[in-house]
Structure 1
Amino acid sequence: MASASASFALISIFCRVFITDASFQPALVLDMAKILLDNYCFPENLIGMQEAIQQAINSGEILHTSDHKTLAAVLTAGVQGALNDPRLTVSYEPNYVPVTPPALPTLPTEQLIRLIRNSVKLELMDNNVGYLRIDRIIGQEPTVRLGRLLHENIWSKLIHTSAMIFDLRFSTAGELSGVPYIISYFSDPDPLLHIDTIYDRPTNTTREVWTMPHLLGDRDMAKVLMDNYCSPEKLAGMEEAIDAASSNTEILAIEDPTVLATVLTDGVKSTLRDPRVKVTYEPDYVPEVPPAIPDIPPEQLAAVVKDTVNVEVLEDNIAYLKIQHIIGEEVAQKIGSLLLEHVWSKVLPTSAMILDLRYAVTGEMSGIPYIVSYYTDAEPLIHIDSIYDRPSDSTSELWSMPTLLGTRYGTSKPLIILTSKNTIGVAEDVAYSLKNLKRATIVGEKTAGGSVKIDKIKVGDTDFYVSVPVAKSINPITGKSWEVKGVTPDVRVDAEDAMDAAIAIIKLRAEIPMIVKAAASLVAKNYAFESIGVDVAEKLEALLNSGEYSMVSSKKQLKEKLSADLAKLSGDNCLKITDNSPTMLPTDASPEMLIELIKVSFQTDVFENNIGYLRFDMFGEFNQIVVVAQIIVEQVWNKVVDTDALIIDLRNNAGGSINPIAGFCSYFFDADREIVLDKLYDRPSGTTKDLVTLQELTGRRYGSKKILLILTSRAMIVGEPTSGSCQPPNPFQVGDSDIFLAIPTTHSDTAQGLAWEGTGIAPHIPVPADTALDTAKGILNKHFSGQK
């Protein structure tokens, strides 16, 4: 009835108007009526209006009017009265030019700030009562743009009051998008409240207005990070840093949102020291939805698998498998049989594998256990990784799988993983896990240091997004993560050289069992102490069989490990890898050069009380000493031979050949009788020979009457216990390789007493090595002073 009455009232109005001026065109009235019908927000009040007007026009009762302003006034009064809506007006303005006020978001920042300051007033009144007057409701975009400034300068000053007076008496303008912001500040974040429902007649659409779960000030970009960033321990000071940035006038003056996003990104990265966090401005961003695997024919699916996974069998039966995307559990279950047929069946019979992850930039976390499990044994199950998820504040453990589709590659065959600086995310986790399980060797470049999961989160109702790592890997073996830092390769080479390096490693590992076994055999057959040699050989082969040498990646690493293992197993540091290149005197050396060499090799002095001092740090080969014997006598020996006592300093002597020992010791005994210095057992020949003094020497003897401090039975020993080294070892070629093993083949005959090999010689007067010379001089000086 109400709508019908309104229609008849409008007919009466139009009839009255038309009677005043019969010359007025009825079409104009119909056009105005149509504007109401198409745009008035209460269409239910306009039912039947157009038909009624047309009927009145056709009735012939309409007259003409010549005053358009009068017509407009009459129409306004009639429409307002009929629809009971004072907001409706009709005006006649022949010179009207539409004026569009500038949109607030397009205003320069300083002008926008000035407008807000002029339209907002606040005061703290008695009894902790806040007063807030707003004369213009600003919309969403200005609020987001200046949100932190509004919060710091307005809301933060009123939030702690006990009551508030909100003055809207002079509020005559505003934007609808600003309403949720204001009401939300006066409500709780949960549950959300349905504020209003807005019907838009031109588009014939309705939308609901609700309170907001996220507000600028205490629930904005800072909250996105505080609630989602995977390492909360690094967030100390984050809110304060964002507060400072948001109230920074230089930042507020940035009008380009893309530039603003870049500035915010730099600030967040600097605070967190995490390059993965990124702020972007993307008004057209549409979240990606992972496409479901379509039901396509098997032959097409097989073609897709072939295009995404590159598989090849190289020379020497080496498998090459290149993966660019690590599929998850759901996809693996759907195409698993195709992967077995077109990929895995080709690499399974190979002797070694190169897994190329240099181009792997995407992947699913659920695929990690699948890949790792194929390179490990079924039992026992292995704790691969722990993933902490920040939004849910929960940690899930990734374990190897007891059952798999197809056969495992196993743990005995070499696995090399290639990486580059572009390897990122889930692929990094696979590489890091297999590396720390000591199942794979990483070759290439340090990886990107990404994340197992990064979410792009919208900041409130803005077009700004924050890309946040929301989960992190915590390796159960290292207790650390590869994220941010990246995975450091075992063998670091440029990405383009990684393939060649991997092949070289695989070829070396094929030779290692032969090399280690050959070294063990040499030790068993030649080491000076037979029982120890046999025991060392057995234990070295046991280390080989247990996989101790399976991760060796270079010839240098092999030599170092062999030396370390032999020394540990035998307790003899002389049993080690050698370069088999003894130092030789220059064959074309001039007499002058030889003299200079002798001078730097020996050090002499004569102290108080005619005490001689002789130091040399190595025993040379006998055939070399014979060549320069006369020079040594003239340049070295003759300086100390006439002293009354001699200190021979062997504190830094590294040993050397056994051949010159007899000749050197002979200088300190008389020529009238032969002295047995030692009995030496030679393991390869099984014979024992005496080491005796020589009858003929170059130069004069020191004799047996003068005091001597030296490391033999002829001398008093002062200093620290000796290192307990060995008789000079002999070099042996290990198999057909270019590696040589130094093996002590001779030892002092233990039937004559305890040998010094391995245990060293205890000094008569134990003192620290750096005070031994002063102690020896003191002993001799005291001795000679007592004789005077």
Structure 2
Amino acid sequence: MKHAAMKHIVLAISLALGSGCAVAADLGAAAMTAGSQREVIEQAAEIIQARYVDPAAGRKLAAEIRREAKAEAFKRDSEPAAFAQALTMELRKLSGDGHFRINYSADLVPPPDAQAADQYEEDDDSWAGPAVNYGFESVRRIDDNIGYLDLRVFAPTRTAADMMQSAMTLLAQSKVLIIDLRNNGGGESDMGLLLAAYLLDKSVEMSATYDRPSNRLTRATTPGWVPGRRFGGTKPVFVLISHKTFSAAEAFAYDLQAMKRVTVVGETSGGGAHPYERRRLTDHFLIKLPEMRSINPLTGTDWQGVGVKPDVPTPPDQAYDKALELAHAALAKHAKPDEKPAR
């Protein structure tokens, strides 16, 4: 009987603890008042005005969302996640900057820690981990020894450099390469630099990053050495893009297009050239704030708001077939007299 009684006590304690956790979670997710919405918006306005990459646009944006907060424009979006989404869409609409995002967290967001530079970074596995094969959707050889890489995200090199090495070593023997970024929304720039290095014969300067808060320009170059085998800097490469192609994926296409290393096929990309940092707003809200801009060493500018323009404009659903056609044409052009590419 003692054991039975103890089980009941343990069960009661467990239920109580569980209820407490539920209450805490519910408190975090409780409907927001106009005052709590104004607090989030005011914090967002302050940090946007102080740190957004375009100072004039930042001041204007801050003033506009303060006006909307005063008018209780988000009153209907009282559920925290819905409010975060509504404020995100409003910031993007007003700024034209697709990197803006407001995130709601049911867990408490800790105050900034001066010792933790990446304190608010997302878990890599949540967006570029094993569940999506680190972005490597397909790696294969097509007829006529044409290589094909369908890459859906640029995962961090610290977690997926070995995947890139394996993929590019398999593709290095191809005579032509098609890199499909039509469904790639971006990710980490270091993976873009690594992929670019496999398509070049030496280290090359890519787009630099200007950070407004620190007023610093950080230059970026492709690695001089890569693990595995290089595809090399002379064989034809076709990069497929669409309006979904964004951020780091655009940087890869834009930089290699500028140096005339690749032919871009598809439709104009999304137009996001402002890298962001995650900043705390309140106990349950963070902002992804575009604080930087990309500057290409050859063009002196970037693709913000205008997107990467394809060399061969093609509807996205036809871009693969078009690239395959171009690949066969390139093979035929460079074939030796006794070689005839199979069709």
Query: Which amino acid is 1:234 matched to?
Result: A
Query: Which amino acid is 2:95 matched to?
Result: L
CA contact (8 A) 1:454 1:468 kept: yes
Question: Among residues 48, 52, 64, which one is paired with 1:229 in the alignment?
Answer: 52
Alignment partner, residue 123 of structure 2: 289
SS of the aligned residue for 1:344 comes to helix
CA, structure 1 residues 106+445, in 2 after alignment: closer, same or farther (shift >3 Å)? closer
Distance 2:134 2:74 in 1: 52
Report the CA distance between 1:309 and its aligned residue. 4.9
CA, structure 1 residues 234+376, in 2 after alignment: closer, same or farther (shift >3 Å)? same
Report the CA distance between 1:267 and its aligned residue. 4.4
Alignment partner, residue 277 of structure 1: 100
Report the CA distance between 1:452 and its aligned residue. 6.1
User: Per-residue displacement from partner, 1:709-735 (whole Å, max 9, x unpaired)?
Assistant: xxxxxxxxxxxxxxxxxxxxxxxxxxx
User: Per-residue displacement from partner, 1:148-173 (whole Å, max 9, x unpaired)?
Assistant: 9xxxxxxxxxxxxxxxxxxxxxxxxx
Question: Among residues 305, 330, 334, which one is paired with 1:509 in the alignment?
Answer: 330
Alignment partner, residue 143 of structure 2: 315
Query: Which amino acid is 1:269 matched to?
Result: R
Alignment partner, residue 320 of structure 2: 499
Give TM-score scaled by structure 2 length: 0.71
CA contact (8 A) 1:383 1:400 kept: yes
Report the CA distance between 1:440 and its aligned residue. 0.3
CA contact (8 A) 1:448 1:486 kept: yes
Structure 1 residue runs of 5 or longer lacking an equivalent are 1-104, 110-141, 149-215, 293-300, 515-788
SS of the aligned residue for 1:326 comes to coil
Q: Paired residues, what number?
A: 291
CA, structure 1 residues 400+252, in 2 after alignment: closer, same or farther (shift >3 Å)? closer
Alignment partner, residue 189 of structure 2: 365
Write the mapping of 1:469-484 to structure 2, written as runs, cut at 5 A.
469-484=290-305
CA, structure 1 residues 237+106, in 2 after alignment: closer, same or farther (shift >3 Å)? closer
Structure 2 residue runs of 5 or longer lacking an equivalent are 1-29, 110-119, 336-343
Alignment partner, residue 235 of structure 2: 413
User: Per-residue displacement from partner, 1:323-363 (whole Å, max 9, x unpaired)?
Assistant: 22324332355x2xx654x4333322221111111222343
Alignment partner, residue 423 of structure 1: 245
Alignment partner, residue 660 of structure 1: none
User: Per-residue displacement from partner, 1:290-311 (whole Å, max 9, x unpaired)?
Assistant: 359xxxxxxxx9xx97993522
Write the mapping of 1:539-578 to structure 2, written as runs, cut at 5 A.
none
Distance 1:256 1:305 in 2: 36
Write the mapping of 1:669-684 to structure 2, written as runs, cut at 5 A.
none
Write the mapping of 1:748-763 to structure 2, written as runs, cut at 5 A.
none
User: Per-residue displacement from partner, 1:125-149 (whole Å, max 9, x unpaired)?
Assistant: xxxxxxxxxxxxxxxxx4x44559x
Report the CA distance between 1:224 and its aligned residue. 1.9
Q: CA RMSD in A?
A: 3.5
Distance 1:108 1:346 in 2: 56
Report the CA distance between 1:454 and its aligned residue. 3.5
Distance 2:134 2:292 in 1: 32
Alignment partner, residue 246 of structure 1: 69
Distance 1:282 1:354 in 2: 39
CA, structure 1 residues 400+456, in 2 after alignment: closer, same or farther (shift >3 Å)? closer
Distance 1:106 1:399 in 2: 48
Report the CA distance between 1:478 and its aligned residue. 1.3
CA contact (8 A) 2:134 2:153 kept: no
Q: Which contiguous aligned blocks of 4+ residues in structure 1 show a shift greater than 6 angstroms? A: 105-109, 304-307
Distance 1:247 1:145 in 2: 10
CA, structure 1 residues 460+246, in 2 after alignment: closer, same or farther (shift >3 Å)? same
Alignment partner, residue 432 of structure 1: 254
CA contact (8 A) 2:207 2:294 kept: yes
Distance 2:211 2:228 in 1: 32
Alignment partner, residue 329 of structure 1: 157
Distance 1:106 1:510 in 2: 62
CA, structure 1 residues 262+320, in 2 after alignment: closer, same or farther (shift >3 Å)? closer
Report the CA distance between 1:228 and its aligned residue. 3.2
Distance 1:282 1:307 in 2: 25
Alignment partner, residue 718 of structure 1: none
CA, structure 1 residues 243+390, in 2 after alignment: closer, same or farther (shift >3 Å)? same
Write the mapping of 1:553-702 to structure 2, written as runs, cut at 5 A.
none
User: Per-residue displacement from partner, 1:18-52 (whole Å, max 9, x unpaired)?
Assistant: xxxxxxxxxxxxxxxxxxxxxxxxxxxxxxxxxxx
CA, structure 1 residues 395+106, in 2 after alignment: closer, same or farther (shift >3 Å)? closer
User: Per-residue displacement from partner, 1:507-545 (whole Å, max 9, x unpaired)?
Assistant: 22334469xxxxxxxxxxxxxxxxxxxxxxxxxxxxxxx
Query: Which amino acid is 1:408 matched to?
Result: R
Question: Among residues 448, 467, 477, which one is paired with 2:270 in the alignment?
Answer: 448
SS of the aligned residue for 2:48 comes to helix
CA contact (8 A) 1:384 1:476 kept: yes
Query: Which amino acid is 1:436 matched to?
Result: A
SS of the aligned residue for 1:235 comes to helix
CA, structure 1 residues 277+255, in 2 after alignment: closer, same or farther (shift >3 Å)? closer
Query: Which amino acid is 1:323 matched to?
Result: L
Alignment partner, residue 487 of structure 1: 308
Q: With CA pairs under 8 Å and 6+ residues apart, which has the higher RCO, 1 or 2?
A: 2
SS of the aligned residue for 1:363 comes to coil
CA, structure 1 residues 323+224, in 2 after alignment: closer, same or farther (shift >3 Å)? same
Distance 1:468 1:107 in 2: 23
CA contact (8 A) 2:237 2:263 kept: yes
Alignment partner, residue 113 of structure 2: none
CA contact (8 A) 2:88 2:101 kept: yes
User: Per-residue displacement from partner, 1:233-255 (whole Å, max 9, x unpaired)?
Assistant: 4224233323322322x437557
Alignment partner, residue 199 of structure 2: 375
Report the CA distance between 1:408 and its aligned residue. 2.4
Write the mapping of 1:18-57 to structure 2, written as runs, cut at 5 A.
none
User: Per-residue displacement from partner, 1:84-117 (whole Å, max 9, x unpaired)?
Assistant: xxxxxxxxxxxxxxxxxxxxx98986xxxxxxxx
Give TM-score scaled by structure 1 length: 0.33
CA, structure 1 residues 223+507, in 2 after alignment: closer, same or farther (shift >3 Å)? same
CA contact (8 A) 1:443 1:491 kept: yes
Distance 1:469 1:237 in 2: 15
CA contact (8 A) 1:146 1:252 kept: no
Query: Which amino acid is 2:158 matched to?
Result: E
